Amino acid sequence: MSLVAEEIASRVLERALSHGGDFAELFCEERRGFSLSIDESRIERPQFGSERGAGIRVIDGEVTRFAHVDGLAEDDLIRAAEGLAGALGGNPAKVLALRAAAPPDLQEIDLDPASVAAGRKADILRELDERARSAGPEVAQASASYAEGRRAVAVFNSEGLQASDDRTRVRLGVQVVARKNGSVETGFETLGEHRGFELLDGDPARIADEAAGKAITLLGADPAPAGEMTVVVGKGFGGVLFHEMTGHGLEADAVQKGASVYADRMGDRVAEPLLNAYDDGTMPHEWGTGAIDDEGTPSHKTAVIQEGRLTSYLYDRLRARRDDVESTGNGRRSSFRDLPIPRMTNTYIEPGDADPEAIIAEVDRGFYAVSFGGGQVEPATGDFVFGVSEGYLIEGGRVTAPCRGATLIGNCLQALARIDAVGSDFEMKTGFCGKSGQTAPVGTGQGHVRIRGITVGGTAV
Amino acid sequence: MSELGGVAGRAAEAATSAGASDAEVWAEGGRSREVRVHGGEVESLTEASGRGVGIRAWIGSRTGYAYGTDLSDAGLAELADAAVGAAHVADEDESSAAPDPAGDPVEIPGLHDVGVASTETTRVIDLAKRVERAALDRDERVTAVEEVVYVDEDSTAAIASTRGVSGTFSASVAYAFLQAMATEGSEVQTGLGFGVARSPAGLDPDQIGVEAGDEASSMLGATKPESRSCPVVLSDRVAASFAGFVGGAVSADDVQRGRSPFADRLGEEVASAALVIADDGTDPGGLASAPFDGEGTPRGRTPLLGEGRLLAYLHDSYTARRAGGTSTGNAARASYRSAPSVSPSNLMIEPGELTFDQLLERAGDGVYVTEVAGLHSGVNPVTGRYSVGASGRAIRGGELAEPLREFTIAGDLLGTLAAVDAVGSRARWVPFGGSVHSAPLLVGEIAVGGA
C-alpha cells in the first residue's frame, strides 16, 4: 500500500530544505492493531486502534530539527516542513529526485490476522485459560492476552531514497498465579513472531502449560541465595542478558558520547574466543525483523563479536555519518512521533559446541537462571540488573531446588569476559525494549551460557 | 463547547448510530516541544502537534474500545463501528456499565500555565544548556553530560458520554532531566537530576544540574557491600518507587482479581504507623491532578495507609460497581490510545519529624539507597516480593560514608512497609513510580545482596 504519493513526498522534502540544511527525511506510517484478553475466564478489553501520521526531520550540521503530525494530509505535511525550514535562514538546498523504490523483502504473511474473525482469537484465549486452569489444583488465577499489529511505513529522503516496509506481528502472552499453603507464585510465557495468524496454528496453548508449570514449580521454592557464584543462563530469553550487558553498549549513540563501556574498544578482546554474537534484522519471522529499518536502510546481519573480539557497533544514519561508516540498519523508532535512534533488532549469541547438560554438570555450586522477567543496564557504567523469573540451585553438577526472588547484578565487561561455555542448543524469544522513552520489538536468543562469578541478589542473606 | 468537546459529542452519537447502547468518548489534543542538548549545543529540537479520540462502547454489559487519529465524520463513524464491533467480542460482565455523571469537576489552581506557550524556544534552549553547565561546573570530575532533555506540553482533553458525562480541561507541564557522568581514571559513574513544573519558569536549572553532578561524583570509587540485613535509608526518589508499588497494589482491579498482596486486607494492619500515604488527585503541585479522571468522575483525596492500617482501595467505576461502592476518581488514561483503568493519581507520603541527618543517625550503620534499577522485572506485583539492583552510600556511625554500587535490595512489600521506622521531614515531587510527593524513609531492616 502506498501511504503518500511520490510527488507529495518530493514537495515536502523540497519545502523542508527550502532554507538550507544537509538532509531532509519524510517518514510516513500507518498502524492498525487489535488486542484482546481473558481474565477470570471472561473475554474482555477488546480494543482496535488505527493511526496515521508522519515525522519530518531536517539535519543541519549537528542539529536535528523534527516535527510530527497526525494524519497524512498534504497540507499538514507541507506546513510541518515549512515550520522546520523557517528556523533556518539559508538558501534552498538540493533535493535529489526520488529513485524508484526497490520492492521490499517482506516476510511472508499467509493469513492477515485482521482478516480473522475476532471470535477465533477469543477461542484461542479460552483454550489458553482452560489449559492453564487444568494444569493443577494449585492454579488460582489465569489471564492471557492476544495482540496483532500491522505497521506500514514509507521513507523518503533528500538523497533520493524511497523505501517501504509492511510489518505484521502477532503475539500471545499468558500469566498464571498458583497458590498453596499460603504461598503465591506466578508464571509467564509468550509466543510471538513477525508473522501472520498462521503463527497460532498447531498448539499455541502449550504456552499455558509452560506458564502454569513455572508457577507450580516455584510454589516449593526457597528464597534465592545471595552472593557471587557461577551462573548458568537458560536458552532463549536468557539472551536478554547479552542484549542488556552488551547490545545496549554497542548502540552508537551511547558509544559516541562516551556513555558506553564499549567506547574505544573496537577490535579489543572483550570475551573468550568461544563467543560470537550478532544483531540480525533479517532473521526470517523473528520479532525484531524488518525489510528495512525506520530510515529506509535495508536490514543487516551485523557481527558484533567475533571470536571474543569486538567487531562492530550498531548504527543509524546520523551516528554512521559521524563515524564515517555505513548505517548497519539499526535506525529504529517507536512511531512517527519519535526520532530514529540506534536500536537492536534480533540480538543473539551464536550456538557454541558445549552440551547444555555438560555445562551444568561441571558446576559444583551455582545458580541456574532459566528465564528472566526482564533487565536493565546503565551503558555508561556497565552496571546491569536482571530479575530472574525461574531459577534453581546447582549442587554437585545437578539442578536441585527451585529458588524465588533472585536478581542477577553485575558489570558488563566483567560478566562478558567470564562467559566460559556456550551451548549448542539455541532458541529465539520476543521482547519489548525500552530506550529514551521509545519501545521497540526485539528478538533475543542464545543456547545455554555459563558465567563464572556473577552476583546473585536474593533474600537468603 | 470546545472543538474537542464537539468531536467527543459527535463520536458518542456515531457510536449510538453504530448500535451501542451506551458510549463514552475521550478526545485529546495538544502540542509539545522537546529540546536535547549535549556539549553546549542543541542536538535535536522537536515541535509536535497531535490529536486523537478513543471510544468506549457498550452493548448491554459487553464493552469494547477503539481509538484513532482521524477526527473527520467518516473517521469517527469508522471508529464507532470498530468500538461496537469490539464490544461484540467481549463476554458479558455485570459490573460493566457506562459511568453516570458523578459531580462537579474539581478546580485545580494553576493547572494550565500560559508560560509554556509564551516562552520562546530560544529561552528553553538556554535553560537546558544551563542545566548542563550547572552539572559540569559542580565538580571537576563531572566530565560530561550524556544529554539534557527538556520537554514541555500543552494539552486539552474532553469527555462526553451518552449518560450525560461531559467536561473539558487544559493542562501544561514542563520538565527537564539529565544524566551526568563523572570520571576518575578509567572509572565512570552516572548521576540523575530532574525537575518538573507547570511551566519552564517553575524549573530551577541549577538545582537540576547540581543534583546530577553531585550524585555522579559522589559515586566515584564505589564498591560492592557485604551481603547482610541492615537498616536502610531510601532516598526520596527510591521511596517514590516504593510508593508506586503500594499504589499499584491498592488499585482495586488487581485486588478484586486476587493479584495483590493487599487483597482481603482492608482495615488490617499492613504497615508501620510511621508511614502515612494518601492518593490525592487534586493537589495543585501534582502532575496527575485534574478536574476529573478518565471517566469524568471528579478527582479526590483517598487516605490509603494510616495508623498502620490499610484504609482504602482505589476505584474506577468498574471496580466500584463490582465492590458495591463508589469510584474514588482513579480511572486513569495514559492517553486516548488506552481505555481507562484504575490507577493511582498523585501519591502523597506524609513527611515525618526527622531531618535527613537524623534519619542517618537513627540508622546508625546501614545503607543509604539513592537509586534502584530493574523495577519492571524485579518487582512481583502479585506476590509483593521484590529484588532490585541498587546503588548508594554506606552509613557508618550515623553518617554517610563510602559509595556503594552493584548490590541488590530484596524483600517483600508488606515486610518492608512494616519495618518503616521513620519518614524524613522534607518532601518533594518525584516523577518516578507515577507522580509521588515523596520523602526519604528509614527502614529498620532490608536484605542487601552484595559480595
pLDDT value at B41 more than 90: yes
Torsion of CA B231, B215, B376, A276, to 10 degrees: -120
Same domain for B78 and B179?
yes
Of B339, B383, B388, which has the smallest distance from its Cβ to A186's Cβ?
A: B383
Pairing of strands A331-332, A341-342: antiparallel
With an 8 Å Cβ cutoff, is B70 touching chain A?
yes
Which among B193, B189, B185 has a CA at the least distance from the CA of B222?
B189
Which among B174, B208, B203, B205 has a CA at the least distance from the CA of B191?
B208
* E strands in A97-138: none
Q: 10 Å Cβ neighbour count for B293? A: 28
pLDDT value at B56 more than 60: yes
Q: 10 Å Cβ neighbour count for B324? A: 7
Q: Which residue of A has its CA nearest to B64?
A: A46
Which residues of chain A have a CB within 8 Å of the CB of B188?
258, 261, 380-381
How many Å lie between the alpha carbon of A303 and the closest alpha carbon of chain B? 27
Contact state of B65 with A227 under an 8 Å Cβ cutoff: no
Residue B121 one-letter amino acid: T
How big is the A-B interface in CB pairs under 8 Å? 245
- Cα A429 to Cα A348: distance, rounded to the nearest angstrom: 10
The domain boundary, picked from B218, B247, B269, lies at: B218
A227-241, A269-283, A337-351, B152-166, range with the lowest pLDDT: A227-241
Residue A295 one-letter amino acid: E
Residues 6+ apart with CB under 8 A from B301: B278, B279, B280, B281, B282
Same domain for B128 and B247?
no
Q: In DSSP terms, which residues pair with B51 in a beta bridge?
A: B29
Helices A118-133 and A206-218, axial angle in degrees (round to 10) = 30
| Residue A348 Rama label (left phi>0; alpha psi -120 to 50; beta) | beta
Same domain for B89 and B25?
yes
Same domain for B368 and B443?
yes
Same domain for B261 and B179?
no
Helix H or strand E segment including B80: helix B73-89
Same domain for B44 and B111?
yes
With an 8 Å Cβ cutoff, is B117 touching chain A?
no
- Cα B431 to Cα B425: distance, rounded to the nearest angstrom: 19
* E strands in B3-114: 22-38, 41-59, 62-68
How many Å lie between the alpha carbon of A353 and the closest alpha carbon of chain B? 31
**Cell numbers of A117, please?**
474473525
Residue A283 one-letter amino acid: M
**Cell numbers of B311, please?**
484504609
Contact state of B387 with A458 under an 8 Å Cβ cutoff: yes
Does the residue B69 lie in any domain?
A: yes
Which residues in chain B (375-404) have CB-CB distances under 8 A to chain A?
376-380, 382-383, 385-389, 391
* pLDDT tens, residue by residue, B25-39: 999 999 999 999 999
A2-6, A33-37, A119-123, B286-290, range with the lowest pLDDT: A2-6
pLDDT value at A461 more than 60: no
Which residues in chain A (231-260) have CB-CB distances under 8 A to chain B?
254, 257-259
Does the residue B412 lie in any domain?
A: yes
Which residues of chain B have a CB within 8 Å of the CB of A226?
227, 408, 410, 447, 449-450
pLDDT band at residue A237 under the 50/70/90 scheme = confident
DSSP B331-391: EE-SSTTS--EE--SEEEEPP-SB-HHHHHHHH-SEEEEEEEE-HHHHB-TTT-EEEEEEE
Q: Domain with B196 in it: what CATH number?
A: 3.30.2290.10
Which residues of chain A have a CB within 8 Å of the CB of B47?
66-67, 83-84
User: What range does the domain containing B356 cover?
Assistant: 228-449
- Return the SS3 of A380: coil
Of B147, B374, B448, which has the smallest distance from its Cβ to A375's Cβ?
A: B374
pLDDT more than 70, % of chain A: 99
Is there a contact between B309 and B277 (Cβ–Cβ < 8 Å)? no
Which residues in chain A (139-178) have CB-CB distances under 8 A to chain B?
140-141, 143, 177
SS (H, E, C) B245-257: HHHHHCEHHHHHC
DSSP B193-243: EEEEESSGGG--HHHHHHHHHHHHHHTTT-BPPPPEEEEEEEPHHHHHHHH
* pLDDT tens, residue by residue, A287-303: 999 999 999 999 999 99
Which among A435, A442, A421, A448 has a CA at the least distance from the CA of A378?
A435
Which residues of chain B have a CB within 8 Å of the CB of A407?
374, 378, 387-389, 408, 410, 449
- Cα A115 to Cα B242: distance, rounded to the nearest angstrom: 44
Residue A66 one-letter amino acid: F
Q: Which residue of A has its CA nearest to B35?
A: A65
- Cα A136 to Cα A138: distance, rounded to the nearest angstrom: 5
Q: In DSSP terms, which residues pair with A225 in a beta bridge?
A: A460
pLDDT band at residue A86 under the 50/70/90 scheme = confident
Does the residue B102 lie in any domain?
A: yes
The domain boundary, picked from B198, B218, B238, lies at: B218
Same domain for B128 and B253?
no
Is there a contact between B116 and B174 (Cβ–Cβ < 8 Å)? yes
How many Å lie between the alpha carbon of B387 and the closest alpha carbon of chain A? 6
Same domain for B443 and B392?
yes
Does the residue B382 lie in any domain?
A: yes
Contact state of B85 with A48 under an 8 Å Cβ cutoff: yes
| Mutation for A interface: B58, B155, B387, most A CBs within 10 A | B387
**Cell numbers of A218, please?**
516455584
Contact state of A455 with B43 under an 8 Å Cβ cutoff: no
Domains, chain A, ranges and CATH?
113-153+163-219 (3.30.2290.10), 227-457 (no CATH)
Q: What's the confidence (pLDDT) of residue A460?
A: 63
Contact state of B69 with A68 under an 8 Å Cβ cutoff: no
With an 8 Å Cβ cutoff, is A224 touching chain B?
yes
A155-159, A404-408, B236-240, range with the lowest pLDDT: A404-408
pLDDT band at residue A459 under the 50/70/90 scheme = low
* E strands in B248-295: 277-280
Q: 10 Å Cβ neighbour count for B18? A: 21
pLDDT band at residue A226 under the 50/70/90 scheme = confident
Contact state of A405 with B51 under an 8 Å Cβ cutoff: no
Contact state of B44 with A372 under an 8 Å Cβ cutoff: no
- Cα B19 to Cα A458: distance, rounded to the nearest angstrom: 54
Which residues of chain B have a CB within 8 Å of the CB of A60?
none
Same domain for B241 and B212?
no
pLDDT band at residue B266 under the 50/70/90 scheme = very high
Q: Give A269's Cβ-side CA count (13 Å radius).
A: 7
Pairing of strands B62-68, A63-70: unpaired
pLDDT value at A1 more than 70: no
- Cα B431 to Cα A356: distance, rounded to the nearest angstrom: 44
- Rg of chain A taking only CA atoms, in angstroms: 24
pLDDT band at residue B378 under the 50/70/90 scheme = confident
Which among A133, A128, A125 has a CA at the least distance from the CA of A215?
A133
pLDDT more than 90, % of chain A: 83
Does the residue B223 lie in any domain?
A: no
Is there a contact between B198 and B214 (Cβ–Cβ < 8 Å)? no
Contact state of B65 with A45 under an 8 Å Cβ cutoff: yes
Which residues in chain A (84-113) have CB-CB distances under 8 A to chain B?
84, 87
- Cα B406 to Cα A383: distance, rounded to the nearest angstrom: 7
* pLDDT tens, residue by residue, A214-224: 999 999 898 88
User: How many domains are there within chain B?
Assistant: 2
**Cell numbers of A28, please?**
510516513
Contact state of B48 with A42 under an 8 Å Cβ cutoff: no
Does the residue B79 lie in any domain?
A: yes
Is there a contact between A36 and A47 (Cβ–Cβ < 8 Å)? yes
Q: What's the confidence (pLDDT) of residue B434?
A: 87
| Mutation for A interface: B38, B408, B413, most A CBs within 10 A | B408
Contact state of B407 with A409 under an 8 Å Cβ cutoff: yes
Q: Which residue of B has its CA nearest to A42?
A: B91
Residues 6+ apart with CB under 8 A from B438: B236, B237, B239, B240, B243, B347, B349, B427, B428, B429, B430
Q: What's the predicted TM-score (pTM) here?
A: 0.93
Pairing of strands B142-161, B62-68: unpaired
Contact state of A184 with B383 under an 8 Å Cβ cutoff: yes
User: CA angle A341-A243-A302, nearest 5°?
Assistant: 65
Q: Residues of A116-142 as b/e, b for ≥16 C-beta within 10 angstroms? A: bebeebbebbbbbbebbbebeebbbbb
- Cα A355 to Cα A448: distance, rounded to the nearest angstrom: 9
Residues 6+ apart with CB under 8 A from A33: A47, A48, A49, A50, A147, A148, A149, A150
DSSP A68-105: EEES--HHHHHHHHHHHHHT--SPPPP-PPPPPPPPP-
Q: Which residue of A has its CA nearest to B216?
A: A381
Same domain for B266 and B205?
no
Contact state of B144 with A257 under an 8 Å Cβ cutoff: yes
Contact state of B389 with A122 under an 8 Å Cβ cutoff: no
Which residues in chain A (417-456) have CB-CB distances under 8 A to chain B?
455-456
Which residues of chain B have a CB within 8 Å of the CB of A406?
387
Does the residue B348 lie in any domain?
A: yes
Same domain for B57 and B87?
yes
Is there a contact between A441 and A430 (Cβ–Cβ < 8 Å)? yes
pLDDT band at residue B1 under the 50/70/90 scheme = very low
Does the residue B200 lie in any domain?
A: yes
Is there a contact between A132 and A174 (Cβ–Cβ < 8 Å)? yes
pLDDT value at A389 more than 80: yes
State the DSSP code for A253. H
Which residues in chain B (406-425) have CB-CB distances under 8 A to chain A?
406-411
* pLDDT tens, residue by residue, B136-176: 999 999 999 999 999 999 999 999 999 999 999 999 999 99
pLDDT band at residue A359 under the 50/70/90 scheme = very high
- Cα A279 to Cα A300: distance, rounded to the nearest angstrom: 8
With an 8 Å Cβ cutoff, is A282 touching chain B?
no
Backbone angles phi, psi at A357, to 5 degrees: -70, -35
Of A185, A376, A459, which has the smallest distance from its Cβ to B383's Cβ?
A: A185
Which among B344, B6, B335 has a CA at the least distance from the CA of B171?
B335
Sign, CA dihedral B121-B142-A434-A290, equals positive
| Mutation for B interface: A385, A411, A414, A433, most B CBs within 10 A | A385
| Residue A170 Rama label (left phi>0; alpha psi -120 to 50; beta) | beta
pLDDT more than 90, % of chain B: 90
Q: Which residue of B has its CA nearest to A182?
A: B383
Give the mean pLDDT of chain A. Answer: 94
Sign, CA dihedral A253-A167-A334-A432, equals negative
The domain boundary, picked from B218, B248, B272, lies at: B218
Same domain for B344 and B211?
no
Give the mean pLDDT of chain B. Answer: 95
Which residues of chain B have a CB within 8 Å of the CB of A62?
41, 43
With an 8 Å Cβ cutoff, is A287 touching chain B?
no
Which residues in chain A (345-384) have CB-CB distances under 8 A to chain B?
372-376, 378, 380-381, 383-384
- Cα A342 to Cα B174: distance, rounded to the nearest angstrom: 27
